[in-house]
Amino acid sequence: MSGLERMESGSLKGLLEALLLVSDDSVPATELARAAGAEPGEVASALAELAAEYADANRGFQLREVAGGWRLFTHPAYHDEVADYVLSWDTRRLSQAALETLAVIAYHQPVTREGVRAIRGVNSDGVIGSLKEKGLVREVGRERDRGQAQLWGTTRLFLEHFGLRSIRDLPPLEDFAPDEESRRFIRERLSGRSIGSTLEEAEADLEEEADLLGPEGDPDGPDGDARDE
């Protein structure tokens, strides 16, 4: 067979292709038969014929029977190019906040949510949740102090996304700093001592703010003069 057979409008094969294109997982022939309103045997034969047609035509995709069902796959011959394209596409979809948070976790793992907040200066809980859903970070343990806080680290998928064999292959973050002051700042921020210091500073700031507000939350205190009439 030199090429794909021409499909007539409303043909069973065309319908099966359309159903498979919108399916994320392998689909049993019986389920496809129900969706197509056809006999299971007829559908099974049509699927086998489609798989053979794709193979004979040397298409960029294949139809395989796996895990008790049928699914479309990209051709193995184009694995590297497809992988590079998909990974770069996924990386571009990360927001600036997600990239910043991911960098903090990657370079300082294992790290708590509070540790990430201390370095970024903003609450990053939502961003961490999003990165977890994308499979780029995961919980790697619990901190012994600070109430058994969750510790976060990167995943194997993260390494695949950024073309790394291991975390040791991460480029030195200081290389991206424009000057010595910035490099010193990065070194301090990436040290465990500085995170603890930053958290303590944040707590001190809150306490100082509370003192300024006074017992009733009045910035002028109980005996202060009101500034605004």
**Higher-confidence position of 229 and 220:** 220
How high is the pLDDT of residue 175? 65
How high is the pLDDT of residue 125? 87
Nearest to residue 191, comparing CAs of 101, 104, 78? 104
Looking at 48, 74, 100, which one is the last position of a domain? 74
Mean pLDDT of 172-187: 65
Residue 164 lies in a domain: yes
What is the C-alpha to C-alpha distance for residues 64 and 70, in angstroms, rounded to an integer? Answer: 6
Domain total of the chain: 2
By residue range, what is the domain housing residue 56? Answer: 12-74
Sequence-ordered list of residues with C-beta below 8 angstroms from that of 56, at least 6 positions apart, any chain: 1, 2
The letter for the amino acid at 36 is: A
Q: Are 65 and 94 found together in one domain?
A: no
Backbone angles phi, psi at 103, to 5 degrees: -65, -40
Q: Are 97 and 52 found together in one domain?
A: no
How high is the pLDDT of residue 56? 94
Q: Are 102 and 62 found together in one domain?
A: no
Kindly report the CATH number assigned to the domain that includes residue 37: 1.10.10.10
Mean pLDDT of 171-187: 66
Residue 199 lies in a domain: yes
Q: Are 59 and 108 found together in one domain?
A: no
Of 54-68, 82-96, 117-131, 187-201, the least confident? 187-201
Q: What is the DSSP string of 153-209?
A: EE-HHHHHHTT-SSGGGSPPGGGG-SSHHHHHHHHHHTSHHHHHHHHHHHHHHHHHH
Express each pLDDT in 4-42 by its tens digit: 454 454 589 999 999 999 887 789 999 999 999 999 999
Residue 6 lies in a domain: no
How high is the pLDDT of residue 158? 87
Counted residue by residue, the chain has a size of: 229
Q: Are 109 and 59 found together in one domain?
A: no
What is the C-alpha to C-alpha distance for residues 220 and 56, in angstroms, rounded to an integer? Answer: 83
Average pLDDT, the chain: 76
Per DSSP, 86 falls in state: H
How high is the pLDDT of residue 225? 42
Residue 52 lies in a domain: yes
pLDDT bucket at 105, cuts 50 / 70 / 90: very high
Query: Residue 161 in contact with residue 106, Cβ under 8 Å?
Result: no
Of 69-78, 140-149, 152-161, the least confident? 140-149
Q: Are 111 and 201 found together in one domain?
A: yes
Strand partners, 152: 111, 139
Q: Are 174 and 196 found together in one domain?
A: yes
| pLDDT at 226 > cutoff 60 | no
Q: Are 193 and 103 found together in one domain?
A: yes
**Both tokens assigned to 147:** 């109430």
Looking at 27, 45, 74, which one is the last position of a domain? 74
**Both tokens assigned to 206:** 């809150």
Express each pLDDT in 64-84 by its tens digit: 988 788 999 889 899 888 877
Of 40-44, 87-91, 164-168, the least confident? 87-91
- Most confident region among 39-48, 80-89, 147-156, 207-216 by mean pLDDT: 39-48
The letter for the amino acid at 61 is: F
Residue 223 lies in a domain: no
| pLDDT at 130 > cutoff 80 | yes
Q: Which helix (H) or strand (E) holds 21?
A: helix 12-21
Q: Can you say whether the dihedral through the CA atoms of 37, 42, 44, 47 is positive or negative?
A: negative
How high is the pLDDT of residue 17? 94
**Both tokens assigned to 5:** 């057979």
